[in-house]
Structure 1
Amino acid sequence: MDFFTSDTHFFHEILLQSNNFSPRPYDNLEDFHKGLIQAWNERVTNEDVVYHLGDVAFLNKIKPVQRGYDLTLEILKELHGQIQFVKGNHDTRSFFKYLEKNNYQLADGKNKFVFHDVGLILKANGHQFFMTHYPLMFGQTQNSINLHGHIHNSMVNVPENINVGVDSADLNYLFDDERPTWGTPLSLAEIELIIKAKHDDFAKRR
Structure 2
Amino acid sequence: MTEHWCISDYHFYHKKLRLKYRLQWDSDDEMNEVMIQNTNELVKRNDFLYFIGDFTWRNHGIKILERLNGQIFFIYGNHDKKTIINKLKNYKNIIWHGEQKGIKIYGQKIFLNHYLMVSWNCCHWGSWHIHGHHHNPVPEEFYTGKVMNVGVDINDYKPINFGQVKDYMKTRPDNWNLIRKKYKEK
Q: Same fold (TM over 0.5)?
A: yes
Shift of 1:97: 1.2
In the superposition, relative to structure 1, how do residues 138 and 24 fare at CA in structure 2: closer, same or farther (>3 Å)? farther
Q: Partner of 2:53 in structure 1?
A: 54
Pair 1:3 & 2:2 matched: no
Q: Is the 8 A contact 2:129 2:146 kept in 1?
A: yes
Pair 1:83 & 2:64 matched: no
Q: Partner of 1:136 in structure 2?
A: 117
List per-residue Cα deviations over 1:112-167 (Å, max 9, x = no partner): 11343221112235531100111121287451111011122132422322111112
Within 1, Cα distance between the matches of 2:107 and 2:88? 33
Secondary structure (helix, strand or coil) at the match of 1:199 reads: coil
Aligned partner of 1:32: which letter? M
Q: Is the 8 A contact 2:118 2:143 kept in 1?
A: no
Q: Partner of 1:149 in structure 2?
A: 132
In the superposition, relative to structure 1, how do residues 24 and 166 fare at CA in structure 2: closer, same or farther (>3 Å)? farther
In the superposition, relative to structure 1, how do residues 184 and 152 fare at CA in structure 2: closer, same or farther (>3 Å)? same
Q: Is the 8 A contact 1:87 1:118 kept in 2?
A: yes
Shift of 1:199: 3.4
Aligned residues: 167
Within 2, Cα distance between the matches of 1:115 and 1:132? 14
Within 2, Cα distance between the matches of 1:42 and 1:9? 19
Q: Is the 8 A contact 2:8 2:52 kept in 1?
A: yes
Shift of 1:11: 0.6
* RMSD between aligned residues: 2.2
Unaligned runs of 5+ in 2: 175-186
Aligned partner of 1:166: which letter? V
Q: Partner of 2:169 in structure 1?
A: 195
Unaligned runs of 5+ in 1: 60-68, 104-110, 172-181, 201-206
Shift of 1:198: 3.6
Q: Is the 8 A contact 1:15 1:24 kept in 2?
A: no
Within 1, Cα distance between the matches of 2:169 and 2:9? 20
Within 2, Cα distance between the matches of 1:35 and 1:73? 16
Q: Is the 8 A contact 2:53 2:80 kept in 1?
A: yes
Aligned partner of 1:134: which letter? Y
How many percent identity over aligned positions?
Answer: 29
Secondary structure (helix, strand or coil) at the match of 2:86 reads: helix
Matches within 5 A, 1:120-131: 120-131=101-112
Match among 183, 187, 191 for residue 157 of structure 2: 183
Q: Is the 8 A contact 1:96 1:115 kept in 2?
A: no
Secondary structure (helix, strand or coil) at the match of 1:51 reads: strand
In the superposition, relative to structure 1, how do residues 77 and 24 fare at CA in structure 2: closer, same or farther (>3 Å)? farther
